[in-house]
Structure formats: structure tokens, C-alpha cells
Structure 1
């Protein structure tokens, strides 16, 4: 085993700075070389989204010490920006995961030790509420403790800047550098909690910001009279999947007039273990099993479910056979583009130079719909932080007006109250949209079919290959480099027209992504996940029937898997 790994392990095992709980955990793995290597071969990486990892002792794990180090680096970076940045403070939220509250407090007390005020939500809150709070409080930065939809053993640390968006490439680089310059954990000493409160450096926030946030979300409502027409008849089943969405989603649905909303009782309350699901991920139909069973009993018209930090939302609807099916993020995104733009046009309230923003691995269907309404379409790299960055650019230049942004992974935003994906506003709009189709005698599924018949059968799929550990990371990098050095001329019998290498281009920030544009409106993209040990294969096609689209998707994925 490498000497620096052994040194790191022994430091954490014997240095009195680390507490007895750490020592106990590390003694239990003594002699387990593979486990020790995984925990100590590197520092947990601070990427453009912050930290995310398995909870546990070690430099490559998320724990109060790696949280302290990240926070000290952020504090050093803020102090470099000057007194005003220090004085404006940092907003902090946390979700229902293991150690989230404790990590939030550690974060606040390290900031306080640096003379930076921490505004901490009094209890768990949704991620978009943190994004809103940063600008509402005029804070310099924001932090949310969450690992989104990862399994229970994970947690994370996402950093936002003064515009309410997650830090993008340049900012992340500066903060990463500041964190990297810290070599000794024992130099980081959090302030005593009572002392921080007496000094005004730890302040708890909550109800006032909640009310302001809900009012801001409500301004994006388009339902109006339609919701009032169906309020008692239209049945909605909602599951927060043991996370933070229960209160804000139910509140906004009540505010806009929905009365017949039922919550899945087994998944209503926050629970760090997410006991009723394998993964608390609304992208997975399995996460909706209990909701679907309840919907069948209630004969519900719509099911919605939010992930633990309530920034993603999934929708389940009846198909033509009367079966409940989970719509993809691309399908919901296209439906929302149509609903929002058609409503704005009908009311004569389309803003000047309207724009929607999507990512490079998101379906082209929404873009085609938007262009049909004369709306500009902008593409960003994968990750809502880039959409947030674009919204900021629009505000500064005044050249475009943001209307809607979305990504295939179930993230949506209407309005600029937040600068991150927001499952609260998205839940409201999905319910209003479904109610609109209900008044026309249609389900959302039938509304989607109508769009397919008008614009073409756009279909997408995503295959994620999990490659864990040191060897897995190396395998992901080698695979991408192989495709970069020797790009295929044909994929499953379809000619490759162009290769977009986002590591070697100038239009967008550089990222390790390859996208192959194929004949007949097809494309394939390869990218490593930014938050999980996965290689992701995205596929998009367009045909004149759903059957043809499904077959082509399968052919492409089968081909790509054979190459790996």
C-alpha cells in the first residue's frame, strides 16, 4: 500500500484532533488494505457542485472534518473578496439525510470562527428554498447539505454564490484552490455555538423566508380559472419520498387551489434511511410503487414525487390502456414548454425576446416546440448550474428574457425566484398542466401523444454504468479517451456526421463530454457523472412512430455497450 495512504490513515487514527468515534471506526478496518485505500488514497474532490460522498471516516469520505476543510476554504475565498462579502454572510440549509443537521452546524461554526455570519434554517428545507434565500438575504454565498437522490449512506455539500446559482467553473476553481491550500485539519477550529449566537454570527431563519418563497413561486402559476373548475374532482397523489418536499409542495398546491391532494402516508415523514425505496429517486419507477398502489385505489389522475432535497420531480400518469406510467424528464420538459408557451401566447403575455434553456443531453423536442412559438433556445453543459449562469447572463445583458429551463434528469425551473432546479414550482405547473388537459378530456399521456404526432416521435434513453473505486474512475477516463482518440465512423449502421468534443471547444466551458451527431436526427453522448461513480450513455432519436424510435434506441445502446 502507498506510503501516503498509510500516513493519512495513521494520522486520522492517532492524532488527538480527530475524535474517538473516528478512531473506533478506523480501528475496525485495520488490516483491510482495500478499504483503507478507498478511504485515504485521495481527498474527497470539491467539484463544480461541491462535495458528495459516502459518510464515514477518511479523507475520501464525507464527515465533519472534510466538511470543516471545505468550509474553511470557502471562508478564505470569501475573505479574499473583501469586507462587504464577509459582512453579507452565508445562508445554510440541509435535508433529511444522515448527519445533515450536524454538518450544517459544523459549517456554520467554522464560518463564525472566520467572522462570517451564518444564516441557518431552523429545520430541514428544500434546496430551491436555499437558492431563493441567498438572494432574499443578499448573502454572499449559500450552502445546502444534501446528496439529492443518492442512497442513504451518502451526503453532500453544495455551494451557491450571491446570484443563488450553484458555483460554476471559474468560482469552483478558486474555491477548490483555497481548499487545496489547507494541509492541516487541526488549524480549523469551529467557534463555540453559544458564543457564535451571542456574537450574532449564527442566526436561525425560517418562517419569513418560507412565506416569501411561496409567494414568489405562486407568481409563476398559470392555472387560474382552470384549477378552480376541477379543484375538487382532480385527484393528485404526492410522495416526498421521505424528504423535504412534503411541506412546500403541499403548501403551493393548496395556495393555487388544488383541494384533492393526498400524500403517500408511508413516505410522508422525513427519514434518513428511506426505508420504503431502494433509491429515493423520482427518475426510477420503482420509487413510485406505493404511490401507484394508492393511485389505483383512489383512481387518481396524477402522481407526483419529489427527491429528498426537492429539486427534482417525477410525474406518473395513465396511458391509453389505463396503466400508470412514469414520464421521462424529457417528456415532462417538452410538455411544460408547450403548456407554458401556449398559455403565454394565448394571454398575450409572452415577454420580449423570450428564451428557454436546456442542456446538451436534453431532448431536442422541447427546442423544436419553442422555436415553433418564436422562442429562442440556448444549450448549456449538463448541470443546472450552467442554466443558472445563463439566467444571470440574461439579466446582465438584457438581450433575452428567461421563461423556462430544464434538463433530462427531472430538473425544471420557471421564473427567476430561484437559480436552481425547483421541484416546488415544477410540481405546481405539472399539476396545473394536467388539470388543463383534464378539462379537455385528455390525460397528460394523451397530451404527449398529440405533441409526438405534431412534431415527431422524439425518444431518449440513458444507460448508466457504475464503476466504483479507484479502478472505476480510471476505467471511465480511459473509455472516454479511447472514443476521443478513435471516434467511430458509424454507430449501429448509422453514419456519424459530427463529433462534438466539449473538452476541446470554446463555445462553452470545457467538460469531459463527447457527443456524436448521427444521420436522421439521432445523437449519442458520453459523459462521466459529476456526482456518482458512473459513466453515462445518452441516446436521442426521432422517427415517425414510437415503435421505430424504441427500436433505434435499443440498437444504439446495444452497440455502445458492446464497445465498453
Structure 2
């Protein structure tokens, strides 16, 4: 069908929905807007669906949510007995999240699949835990993570509590594509409750057990008891789902000096105090810095709307604040876990850490110094979750810690996605350990750099929206494959990893990458430096990841800047 035919089909199919029809008729003469909404369907993949809210095939709306859910139900019902285990559904504070979550539940019920719907907004890690805890077959979270307010999304989890992998995503997509929008029916809510297909869940069924399990992740609980009263924390949930579980966890481990940014405490789908609800964005901390000055805080925490990411700001010895990168937080936590376990004589011989390929190589150096194996995965925490399951199935490694540079951290096996609550516990404990030693958290980072070398990691994103942007991203990746650079910023390219082909090429010799197929190019450079290029799986962006290392900070930062500029030129 043509773009215009798709548009007119929606006008017919949803003629009774006055809001949708009004929105669609308003773009009837805007060919560019019509094209963007109807040139393709909103894609479903391992990260689920994510897009701008609005009417149309290529927008997040109740009709795409219902169709995706019927596709999920159809996929699960290929094994009817397993489907009886049901699906857990959570949602964050975004526009339409609660409505989309209820629609998800009632479509599942109409298909005969039991639904466990949370009674209020919940973080991603609680959903991941709940799927495993309730022995459900799958999970769904309505969220667009840290995207701007005009976005929402739909993420699907498997029975292991991790986001679905490529095989399951393809199976769900197959059913979605064979499903008409008009075939998606909702069961009446009261009928679903009366039949026992819809179950409303909350603290008693899930949260209480989750918090108790997170508390067991403390490496040195005594440290929290002795130093916790001296630690002053400022916390902002950035209007999201972290407010209740993070504050509850901190209180229950004995950290009572927690000041919450009142303007960002309550759910707000417009995220009206910030440009984007992203803990990677320095602008998100403006109110937190102001409060920190008032209460003389040592550390600032910020979680994104679905509370799977944690951002951290710390003071140096002169009282200046520093917003830490995800790589810095990950390496401090990794070093703390390994050094504490070694000191206590509890570091397992088969211990293992996991990180994404675009996260800092400093982690590799840290693991090597402790005799701990480190594994690398593609970007996406689901791959770290898969690795955890492999360790448990084979019994060959003990999982200790996993992280991604994008502020995602995990030290448990009972959750299989990044966990902002878990990370809050660990960062608090490191802060207490530093206080006990009479140093700052920032000092600890500098000690690690002094021991292992300085690593400057950068991410450069280029936004390429719409159909033209998608075409441009494909052109960039195609050109780089056809003519890979011989050098970048004067550093020789020593090997090229093409994850789409699954091949690493060095001196003309090809070897398998050992990772799943993905549209990613990774250029290994001299002296352990590298540049990685990948289109985002959740946003209309192409991203450059830079890893520069040197003996000192100034040298590493100069090299990083040179690599950034040279890599940007590759895109043109």
C-alpha cells in the first residue's frame, strides 16, 4: 500500500475514535508529516518498540500497543501450557503509560493469557525481578527510558527476566505482521478480574521481596552501619518510578540523610523541570546541585524515569562537583567489588564481569589485575542478562558485576536488566568506604587512574530523524564497510570488527567475532585505543564511541578530542 492508502485505511479503521481522526485530518495536506507517520510500521525488535506518541503506523499509540500485545500473545500461545504462566506488566510515569499498560493486560486476557498488572508505576528492575519471582512466562514494561517526553515505548522480557533476544523478537514480529489492527480486542476489565485472568499486584506480591534481595548485595553491611550516618545524599528521581524503591532501600540500609529534590519528586509525564529526563545530561542536575549546597551533600544520585540507570555526581577535595561518566561509575564499582571480595578472601576463582563492547577498556585492566575473567557483549543489557544465564547453565563462572557506559549497572542474578536501585546501594557503600579512609569518592577514581592509566571515553551522537535519516545512516555504515579507514587521528587501524558480518579482520586474516549479528563497526587502533560506530536501536541517531588511553589525564583527553574530530569526519 502507498503512504496515502495507509493513511486512508487508518481513517476508515478508527472512524469511531474522534481524537485519532482529528489528529490525522490535521495532517491531511502535510505530505512530509504523513510520510513520516505512514511510510513504515513502528519497528519491533529486541528493544521492543519506541517512538513519538501520536496517530499513525510509525507512532506510539494504543493501536500499536494492542497489536504488539496480540502478537506477543500469539507467540506465547504457540506453547499453550507455558502461556498459562502469564505476563507481568509494569509502567513508568510517561504520557499514556498507565493506559497502555492496562490495554496490554486486557488484550492478553482476551487472548486467554493471564496478566499480572502492577497497581502503580514501577521500575524496570522490579519488573525483571517480578517475572522471575512469579514464574511468569514474559513481561512487558511501558517506558521510553530517558527519551524526551514526546516518546513512549514497549519493552518485552522473557521468562529469565531479561529483554527478549533476537530469536524471540523475530517470532513476536512474525505474529505482529500477520495481525490486523482491527483484530485486537480488549476484555472488559471486571470480566478479566472475575475470571482470574487479570491480577493486580504490588508490594506484598513483589516489592517487599525485591528490596530484601537487593539488601543482600551489600559487600560490607557493617560499613553502612558505621559510616552511613555521616553520608549526606541528594536524590532526584527525575519525575520517574525510582522515587519509592530507591528511598525505601536507602532508608532500610541505614542511610537516613537523604534529601530529595522536591520539584522532581512526583511523577510528571511532561518532565517539566528538565529538558530531557536523562541522568547523563548535566542539565538534569541543576536543582540537585542547588539542594546539595543547602544540605552540604557528599553525593548526588539521579535515576531516569524507569529507574534502570543511575547518574552520580561527587565532590573533590576542594568542594567542586563532578558528574561522573557511566564508565567511571562502572569501574569504581567493579574495583570496589573485586578488591573487597579479595580482602575478605571471598573472591571466587571463577569470578566474571561483563560489559558491552562500547564500554571502557579500563574494566579489562581492572579484571586482569584481580585474575577475574571479563566478557564483552553487544550493546543492550539483554546480552549481559544472557551471559549471566549462560554462566548459571554451564556452572563455569560466578557472575560478579555487569555494566554499560550508558549508566547501567548490575551485581545481582535475580534481576536481569540494569538496576538503578542496586546501583544506589553500591555507590552508597563505596562513598562510605571512602569516608572511612578519609578520602573523597573523586579521590578513589583518581587512584584507579593512577594505578591503571587514564582512560578518556566519549560518545558523539548525530540525530538523523525520519525516512531520510534512516537512509543516511545506512549510507554511512555502507560507506565505512566499503572503505574502512586505514588510520584515525594518526593512529593506525590494526583490526576491524564488522559485527554485521560477524568477522574480525587483522592483517588480511579473518576470525569470527563470536557475538550475534548487529550493524556495528569497531576499529581497533594502536596502543589499545578504539572507535566504534553504531546506529542506535532506540533513537534516530548514529553514535560514535571513543576509547582513548594514556599515562596522564591531559594526554588522554587531547587524544580523545583528536579521535572525536577525526571520527566525525568519517561520517561525512
In the superposition, the TM-score normalised over structure 2's length comes to 0.97
SS class of match (1:232):
helix
Does residue 32 (structure 1) correspond to residue 30 (structure 2)? The answer is yes
Q: Quick one: distance in 1 between partners of 2:435 and 2:302? A: 20
Q: Which residue of 1 aligns with 2:6?
A: 8
Instruction: Decide whether the 8 Å contact of 1:465 with 1:536 is kept in 2.
Output: yes
Shift of 1:353: 0.7
Q: Which residue of 2 aligns with 1:357?
A: 354
Q: Which residue of 2 aligns with 1:233?
A: 230
Q: Quick one: distance in 2 between partners of 1:364 and 1:242? A: 33
Q: Which residue of 1 aligns with 2:188?
A: 192
Q: Quick one: distance in 2 between partners of 1:270 and 1:351? A: 42
Alignment of 1:477-492 (within 5 A): 477-492=474-489
Summarize deviations over 1:40-74 as a string: whole Å, max 9, x none.
11000001110000111000001010001100111
Shift of 1:147: 0.2
Q: Quick one: distance in 2 between partners of 1:58 and 1:557? A: 37
Summarize deviations over 1:146-171 as a string: whole Å, max 9, x none.
00000001000000000000001111
Instruction: Decide whether the 8 Å contact of 1:14 with 1:23 is kept in 2.
Output: no
Alignment of 1:121-520 (within 5 A): 121-182=118-179, 184-208=180-204, 209-505=206-502, 506=512, 507-520=514-527
Q: Quick one: distance in 1 between partners of 2:347 and 2:17? A: 58
After the TM superposition, which of the residue ranges 338-347 and 10-19 deviates more from structure 2?
Answer: 10-19
Shift of 1:344: 1.1
Shift of 1:15: 2.6
Q: Quick one: distance in 2 between partners of 1:15 and 1:514? A: 42
Q: Quick one: distance in 1 between partners of 2:209 and 2:364? A: 32
Shift of 1:417: 1.4
Alignment of 1:524-539 (within 5 A): 524-539=531-546
Does residue 541 (structure 1) correspond to residue 548 (structure 2)? The answer is yes
Q: Which residue of 2 aligns with 1:109?
A: 106
Tell me the C-alpha RMSD between the 2 structures: 1.0
Shift of 1:350: 2.1
Alignment of 1:15-26 (within 5 A): 15-16=13-14, 19-26=17-24
Instruction: Decide whether the 8 Å contact of 1:223 with 1:433 is kept in 2.
Output: no
Q: Quick one: distance in 2 between partners of 1:457 and 1:219? A: 33
SS class of match (1:241):
coil
Q: Which residue of 1 aligns with 2:508?
A: none
Q: Quick one: distance in 2 between partners of 1:8 and 1:519? A: 51
Instruction: Decide whether the 8 Å contact of 2:15 with 2:21 is kept in 1.
Output: no
Summarize deviations over 1:374-420 as a string: whole Å, max 9, x none.
11100000010100011111111111111110000000001111000
Count of residue pairs brought into register by the alignment: 560
SS class of match (2:371):
coil
Summarize deviations over 1:515-536 as a string: whole Å, max 9, x none.
0010022100000001000000
Q: Which blocks of at least 5 consecutive residues in structure 2 are unaligned?
A: 503-511
Q: Quick one: distance in 2 between partners of 1:287 and 1:68? A: 33
SS class of match (1:560):
helix
Summarize deviations over 1:339-361 as a string: whole Å, max 9, x none.
01111111222234110000100
Q: Which residue of 1 aligns with 2:566?
A: 559
Q: Quick one: distance in 2 between partners of 1:342 and 1:322? A: 27
Shift of 1:366: 1.4
Q: Which residue of 2 aligns with 1:43?
A: 41
Q: Which blocks of at least 5 consecutive residues in structure 1 are unaligned?
A: none
Shift of 1:17: 6.1
Q: Quick one: distance in 1 between partners of 2:251 and 2:549? A: 39
Q: Quick one: distance in 2 between partners of 1:422 and 1:367? A: 22
Instruction: Decide whether the 8 Å contact of 2:121 with 2:241 is kept in 1.
Output: yes
Q: Quick one: distance in 2 between partners of 1:142 and 1:555? A: 44
After the TM superposition, which of the residue ranges 394-403 and 315-324 deviates more from structure 2?
Answer: 315-324
Q: Quick one: distance in 1 between partners of 2:545 and 2:415? A: 27
Summarize deviations over 1:15-39 as a string: whole Å, max 9, x none.
3465111101111112011111111
Summarize deviations over 1:233-265 as a string: whole Å, max 9, x none.
211100000000011001111111111111011
Q: Which residue of 2 aligns with 1:96?
A: 93
Instruction: Decide whether the 8 Å contact of 1:74 with 1:178 is kept in 2.
Output: yes
In the superposition, the TM-score normalised over structure 1's length comes to 0.98
Q: Quick one: distance in 2 between partners of 1:367 and 1:18? A: 58
Q: Quick one: distance in 2 between partners of 1:382 and 1:17? A: 41
